[in-house]
């Protein structure tokens, strides 16, 4: 692809992402699958541009609005070429020629934008930008995050705007971390142990997993360190009966199964049959044999009532805004609306209420989200405990040593992980225990 063709592909993809309901990564994958003629370097360049435009959108819009233009995909791309790539009118004109696969040439208004940004020596960051713009956060969401993080809010948001780390979880059914690190060393990927998870490996660069022998052999799974840690907080043991209530494609199910050494029983539930079926290959590759997959009709499926108080652990990775995963899904911040939060809070409450019925006396419910917002986290837990005097909150630090090992990274009763403080995706976890009969 020519440089101009790369720009045209980025514009097409951004518009496709904005017009659909699938995450950016799925849209990009679908786009590339239909265009297998695009080489690996071109794919990487286009993908990097798309994610960059999504991550820098608020800051680009700030510059565009100061120049008197409307912010849209083309103007954001042109502003990015000036402010981020430091290109001028000549270089941009050489890529936007309108010939073959290049985008059309800049309009007079776009040429004025290039001139104004060039004259202002535009940088992607500027001291006059308001905090929400510095953090590339929707304006309406900024007050909530400022109330949560105070003076550290911009720092937290900037960390969420960086590319995510590439983490692997060692499957202890097949290997130790030292063995995996030795396997990875010849690949030159800069693999090193994660700081908090005893089963985690962090690579210095992203790499296609199908080119990692340890992955094909089932020795590792791709899983963020934060996701590994919340799964470990379930503190499952061999022989237990466990429910992964919102299992999805089974990442945390796999982590718990390895901890149980294939002894005991895990029921991986989800209301999406296709999503849970995607776990089949992963379970087989990992050598997991103690997982039953079950599709639920709703969060109040009759199966739940029939199995009330029969499980030692109930893991609830609740659907949420995903504000803690903006490193991986920067597009999510731009389609999120205030009404979505209210809808999710209601759904989370129903899910937690129903799933908790499965916990036996002395059994635990592990409530998890990848959200930063208190409405989805601490407030949900407080409301649940207020309505259920047969449950108590178990402080995370009291279990950390046994469940994870090492020093607990938080002093609070409930776990909050963030990229800025812990180098993980944003995660929340609370441990609720049913009182003895």
Domain spans in the chain, listed from the N-terminal domain onward: 3-124, 166-222, 225-434
Q: Is 370 an active-site residue?
A: yes
Distance, CA of 190 to CA of 396 (rounded, Å): 32
Asked whether 309 and 356 are in contact (CB, 8 A), the reply is: no
Reduce the DSSP state of residue 291 to 3 states and report it. strand
Does 40 score more than 90 pLDDT?
A: no
Catalytic residue among 137, 246, 269, 370: 370
Over residues 175-220, the pLDDT tens digits come to 999 999 999 999 999 999 999 999 999 999 888 898 999 999 999 9
Does 250 score more than 80 pLDDT?
A: yes
pLDDT in the model for residue 54: 95
Distance, CA of 197 to CA of 194 (rounded, Å): 6
pLDDT in the model for residue 22: 77
Over range 219-231, report the average pLDDT.
98
Q: What is the DSSP letter of 20?
A: S
Over residues 131-181, the pLDDT tens digits come to 999 999 999 999 999 999 999 999 999 999 999 999 999 999 999 999 999
List CB contacts of 182: < 8 A, sequence separation 6 or more: none
pLDDT in the model for residue 154: 97
Distance, CA of 329 to CA of 34 (rounded, Å): 22
Over range 62-81, report the average pLDDT.
93
Distance, CA of 365 to CA of 382 (rounded, Å): 14
Which of 410, 356, 412 is closest to 383 using CA atoms?
A: 356
Asked whether 275 and 251 are in contact (CB, 8 A), the reply is: no
% pLDDT > 70, the chain: 100
Q: Which CATH architecture has domain 166-222?
A: 2-Layer Sandwich (3.30)
pLDDT in the model for residue 79: 96
pLDDT in the model for residue 23: 83
Residue 414, token pair as written in the block: 């409930």
Over range 31-43, report the average pLDDT.
89
Q: Reply yes or no on domain 225-434 having CATH 4.10.140.10.
A: no
Does 11 score more than 80 pLDDT?
A: yes
Over residues 315-357, the pLDDT tens digits come to 999 999 999 999 999 999 999 999 999 999 999 999 999 999 9
């Amino acid at each position: 692809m020519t440089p101009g063709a790369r720009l045209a592909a980025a514009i097409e993809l951004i518009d496709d992402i904005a017009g659909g309901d699938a995450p950016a990564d799925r849209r990009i994958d679908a786009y590339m699958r239909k265009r297998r003629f695009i080489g690996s370097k071109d794919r990487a360049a286009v993908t990097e541009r798309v994610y960059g435009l999504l991550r820098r959108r608020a800051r680009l819009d700030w510059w565009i609005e100061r120049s008197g233009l409307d912010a849209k995909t083309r103007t954001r791309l042109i502003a990015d070429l000036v402010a981020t790539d430091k290109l001028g009118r000549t270089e941009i004109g050489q890529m936007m020629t309108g010939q073959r696969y290049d985008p059309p040439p800049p309009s007079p208004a776009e040429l004025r934008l290039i001139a104004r940004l060039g004259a202002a020596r535009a940088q992607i960051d500027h001291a006059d930008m308001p905090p929400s713009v510095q953090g590339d956060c929707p304006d309406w969401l900024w007050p909530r995050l400022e109330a949560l993080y105070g003076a550290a809010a911009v720092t937290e948001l900037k960390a969420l705007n960086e590319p995510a780390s590439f983490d692997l979880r060692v499957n202890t059914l097949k290997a130790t971390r030292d063995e995996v690190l030795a396997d990875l060393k010849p690949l030159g990927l800069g693999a090193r142990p994660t700081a908090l998870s005893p089963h985690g490996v962090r690579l210095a660069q992203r790499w296609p997993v199908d080119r990692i022998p340890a992955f094909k052999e089932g020795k590792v799974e791709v899983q963020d360190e934060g996701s590994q840690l919340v799964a470990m907080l379930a503190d499952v043991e061999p022989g237990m009966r466990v429910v992964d209530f919102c299992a999805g494609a089974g990442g945390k199910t796999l982590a718990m199964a390895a901890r149980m050494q294939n002894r005991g029983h895990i029921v991986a539930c989800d209301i999406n049959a296709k999503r849970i079926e995607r776990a089949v290959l992963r379970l087989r590759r990992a050598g997991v044999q103690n997982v039953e997959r079950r599709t639920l009709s709703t969060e109040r499926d009759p199966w739940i009532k029939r199995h009330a108080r029969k499980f030692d652990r109930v893991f609830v990775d609740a659907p949420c805004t995903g504000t803690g995963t903006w490193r991986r899904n920067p597009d999510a911040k731009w389609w999120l609306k205030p009404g979505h939060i209210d809808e999710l809070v209601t759904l989370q409450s129903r899910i937690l209420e129903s799933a908790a019925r499965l916990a036996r006396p002395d059994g635990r419910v592990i409530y998890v989200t990848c959200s930063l917002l208190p409405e989805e986290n601490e407030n949900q837990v407080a409301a649940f405990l207020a309505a259920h005097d047969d449950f108590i909150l178990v402080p995370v630090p009291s279990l950390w040593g046994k469940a994870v090992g090492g020093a607990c990274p938080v002093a609070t009763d409930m776990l909050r992980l963030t990229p800025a403080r812990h180098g993980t995706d944003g995660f929340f976890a609370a441990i609720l225990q049913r009182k003895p009969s």
